[in-house]
Amino acid sequence: MESYSYVNIFETKGLEYILLICFLLLLIFFVRYIFSSKKKPDESLK
Amino acid sequence: MNKKTIFLNELKRFFKFILQEMKPKGKLLTPFNIISIPIMILGFILIILRFVKGLGYATNLSQEFPWGFWIGFDVVTGVAFAGGAYVITFVVYVMKVEKYHPIVKVTVLNGLLAYMFYAGALVLDLGKPWNIFNPIIGNSFGYNSVLFLVAWHFLLYMATEFLEFSPTIAQWLGWKKLQKILKSLTVGAVIFGITLSMLHQSGLGSLFLMAKSKIHPLWYSEFIPVLFFVSSIFAGLSMVIFEGTISHKVFKDKIDAKHHKAFDEMMIGLARGAAITMFVYYFFKALLFIHEGQWSYLMDSWGILYLIEVIGLVLIPCFMFAYGAKNRSLGIIRTAAILTMIGIILNRLNISIITFNWNIPAVYYPSWMEIVITMMIIFTEIWVFRWIVRRMPVFED
Query: Å from A1 to nearest chain B CA?
Result: 34
pLDDT band (50, 70, 90) for residue B145 = confident
The B residues from 27 to 66 touching A (CB cutoff 8 Å) are none
Q: What is the model's pLDDT at position B261?
A: 75
Q: Are B287 and A19 in contact (CB < 8 Å)?
A: yes
Give chain B positions within 8 Å (CB) of A13: 291
For chain A, the residues whose C-beta falls within 8 A of a C-beta of chain B are 10, 13, 15-16, 19-20, 23, 26-27, 30-31, 33-38, 40
Predicted TM-score (pTM) of this structure: 0.90
Coil, strand, or helix at residue B356? strand
Mutate to test the interface with B, among A9, A37, A44 (most CBs of B within 10 A): A37
Q: Who contacts B82 (Cβ-Cβ below 8 Å, separation ≥6)? A: B110, B111, B114, B115, B118, B236, B239
- The per-residue pLDDT for range B159-187, each reduced to its tens digit, is 999 999 999 999 998 889 999 999 999 99
Say yes or no: B133 contacts chain A, CB-CB below 8 A. Answer: no
Pick the closest to residue B103 from B93, B113, B114 (CA basis): B93
Say yes or no: B272 contacts chain A, CB-CB below 8 A. Answer: yes
- The per-residue pLDDT for range B82-100, each reduced to its tens digit, is 999 999 999 999 999 988 9
Residue A1 pLDDT exceeds 60: no
Which amino acid, residue B28? L
Coil, strand, or helix at residue B207? coil
Under 8 Å between Cβ of B238 and B344 = yes
Q: Who contacts B80 (Cβ-Cβ below 8 Å, separation ≥6)? A: B201, B204, B228, B231, B232, B235, B236, B344, B348
Q: What is the model's pLDDT at position B149?
A: 87
Say yes or no: B290 contacts chain A, CB-CB below 8 A. Answer: yes
Under 8 Å between Cβ of B315 and B282 = yes
Q: Who contacts B285 (Cβ-Cβ below 8 Å, separation ≥6)? A: B227, B310, B314
A-B contacts (CB, under 8 Å): 43
Distance linking the first and last C-alpha atoms of chain A: 76
In the predicted model, what is the mean pLDDT of residues B189-206? 93
Cα distances from B83 to residues B72, B115, B200, B230, in angstroms, run: 16, 10, 10, 10
- Measure CA B326 to chain center: 28
Alpha carbons B157 and B45: distance in angstroms, whole number: 30
Coil, strand, or helix at residue B215? strand
Cβ atoms within 10 Å, residue B344: 25
pLDDT band (50, 70, 90) for residue A5 = low
Residue of chain A nearest B279, judged by CA positions: A27
Q: What 8-state DSSP symbol labels residue B202?
A: H
- The per-residue pLDDT for range B291-327, each reduced to its tens digit, is 888 889 999 999 999 999 999 999 999 999 999 999 9
Alpha carbons B259 and B246: distance in angstroms, whole number: 15
Q: Are A34 and B325 in contact (CB < 8 Å)?
A: yes
- Sign of the CA dihedral with B18 first, then B22, B26, and B32 last: positive
Residue B242 pLDDT exceeds 50: yes
Pick the closest to residue B58 from B73, B72, B48, B71 (CA basis): B48
Residue A42 pLDDT exceeds 70: no
Helix extents (H) in B293-353: 301-307, 316-326, 330-349
Burial class (CB in 10 A: 0-12, 13-18, 19+), B18: exposed
In the predicted model, what is the mean pLDDT of residues B112-121? 88
Alpha carbons B253 and B240: distance in angstroms, whole number: 19
The DSSP secondary structure of B130-151, one letter per residue, reads: GGGGHHHHTSS--TT-HHHHHH
Q: What is the model's pLDDT at position B168?
A: 94
Residue B365 pLDDT exceeds 60: yes
Picking from A16, A26, A37, the nearest residue to B328 by CB comes out as A37
Residue B18 pLDDT exceeds 90: no
Cα distances from B386 to residues B33, B380, B393, in angstroms, run: 12, 10, 12
Query: Å from A3 to nearest chain B CA?
Result: 29
Q: What angle do CA B60, B63, B69 make, to 5 degrees?
A: 40
Q: Who contacts B151 (Cβ-Cβ below 8 Å, separation ≥6)? A: B132, B135, B136
